[in-house]
């Protein structure tokens, strides 16, 4: 079925508007943390995969890091394994870690690879344990109440933080024409597995790869001010102010901190984007408006 003249002109205009962005980002690396509604809604899954394949087709190098907390929780519930959380982090004993590895490293990772393949791309799924891509160490959590004289150190099991990332593993995949899809499971010095926050892994991967952009998909429209308006074009100093005055708090704080750390470490742009919007990744890459909050360094503030 052929397009009408009006439809053809609209299509041509859209492609034409994307050209400067294609030229600007060709050959650059973009790290995308994939999670939230975009991972469970079939339409959003397909649009995400097509966006990633399109980026690769026009010469951009996407690297996907995915989460899977709700899916882990669902399987734990079905297996009658109780979930406990400390400061928002899942306490991960050996049984829970087995479930984490199964859900993240097998089920979700392979589903994303298949989605990208079905959209015409070449994806390669890995966990941080493959080739010792992500070296990790145990995360120690301290907890203190006013009546305590000293903070209590809480052992939350196989929960880790990134110690180092071997970029040669990712470079090999990218140079081979593949789209890396990374599950956030790290390996300790004695071969033990660690469950690591996917936002944190994505930020560290972006830093190590000297990525042009870090994109964190969320289930909200972006960082909002106290009046509910979405904020964007934020400098490092402005984000620090918003944290200090309480505008950024709760569940958004770790995500913003991750984006901020990446920008402070040399990643030019970090985006908190609304993964509930069809083709959110493409809209952020190829349009002026985008669909979320941009954080950048002071020299680049105001650019999109």
- pTM equals 0.89
Residues in contact with 297: Cβ distance below 8 Å, sequence separation at least 6, in sequence order = 235, 236, 263, 264, 268
Q: What pLDDT sits at residue 102?
A: 95
**CATH class in words for 212-304:** alpha beta
Q: What pLDDT sits at residue 75?
A: 93
Burial letters 70-82, b for 16+ CB under 10 A, else e? ebbbebbeeeeee
- For every residue of 143-201, DSSP letters joined together read E--TT-SSPEEEEEEEEEEEEEE-HHHHHHHHHTT-EEEEE-EEE-TTS-EEE--HHHH
Structure tokens at 158: 């196989």
Q: What pLDDT sits at residue 61?
A: 97
Q: What pLDDT sits at residue 155?
A: 78
Within a 10 A sphere around the Cβ of 24, how many other Cβ atoms?
A: 12
Query: Domain segments of the chain: what residues?
Result: 26-45+60-197+204-211, 212-304
Q: Do domains 26-45+60-197+204-211 and 212-304 have the same CATH topology?
A: yes
Considering only CA atoms, which of 28, 31, 41, 93 is closest in space to residue 65?
31
Contact indicator for 209, 28 with CB cutoff of 8 Å: no
**d(C-alpha 232, C-alpha 291), whole Å:** 10
Low-confidence ranges of the chain (pLDDT < 70): 1-3, 7, 10-11, 87, 142-153, 289-290, 298-304
Length of the chain: 304
Q: What pLDDT sits at residue 157?
A: 87
Q: What is the fold, at CATH topology level, of the domain defined by 26-45+60-197+204-211?
A: Carbamate kinase (3.40.1160)
**Cα–Cα distances in Å, from 61 out to 87, 215, 237, 259?**
35, 13, 30, 19
Sign of the dihedral defined by the CA atoms of residues 174, 179, 183, 184, in that order: positive
Q: What pLDDT sits at residue 153?
A: 67
Q: What pLDDT sits at residue 154?
A: 73
């Amino acid at each position: 079925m052929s397009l009408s003249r009006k439809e053809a002109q609209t299509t041509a205009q859209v492609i034409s508007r994307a050209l400067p962005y294609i030229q600007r980002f060709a050959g650059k690396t973009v790290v995308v943390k994939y999670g939230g509604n975009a991972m469970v809604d079939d339409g959003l899954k397909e649009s995400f995969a097509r966006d990633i394949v399109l980026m690769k087709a026009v010469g951009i190098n996407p690297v996907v890091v995915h989460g899977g907390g709700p899916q882990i929780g669902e399987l734990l519930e079905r297996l009658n394994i109780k979930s406990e959380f400390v400061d928002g982090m899942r306490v991960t004993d050996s049984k829970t870690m087995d479930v984490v590895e199964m859900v993240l490293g097998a089920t979700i990772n392979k589903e994303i690879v298949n989605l990208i393949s079905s959209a015409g791309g070449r994806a390669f799924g890995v966990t941080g344990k493959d080739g010792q891509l992500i070296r990790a160490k145990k995360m120690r959590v301290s907890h203190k109440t006013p009546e305590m004289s000293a903070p209590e150190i809480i052992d939350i099991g196989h929960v880790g933080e990134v110690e180092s990332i071997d970029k040669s593993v990712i470079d090999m995949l990218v140079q081979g024409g593949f789209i890396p899809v990374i599950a956030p499971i790290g390996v300790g010095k004695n071969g033990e597995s660690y469950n690591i926050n996917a936002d944190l892994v994505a930020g560290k991967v972006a830093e190590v790869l000297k990525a042009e952009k870090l994109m964190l998909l969320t289930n909200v429209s972006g960082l909002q001010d106290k009046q509910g308006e979405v904020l964007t074009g934020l400098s490092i100093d402005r984000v620090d102010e918003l944290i200090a005055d309480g505008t950024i708090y709760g569940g958004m704080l770790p995500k913003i901190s991750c984006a901020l750390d990446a920008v402070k470490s040399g990643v030019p742009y970090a985006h908190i984007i609304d993964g509930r919007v069809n083709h959110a990744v493409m809209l952020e890459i190829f349009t002026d408006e985008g669909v979320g909050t941009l954080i950048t360094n002071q020299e680049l503030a105001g650019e999109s």
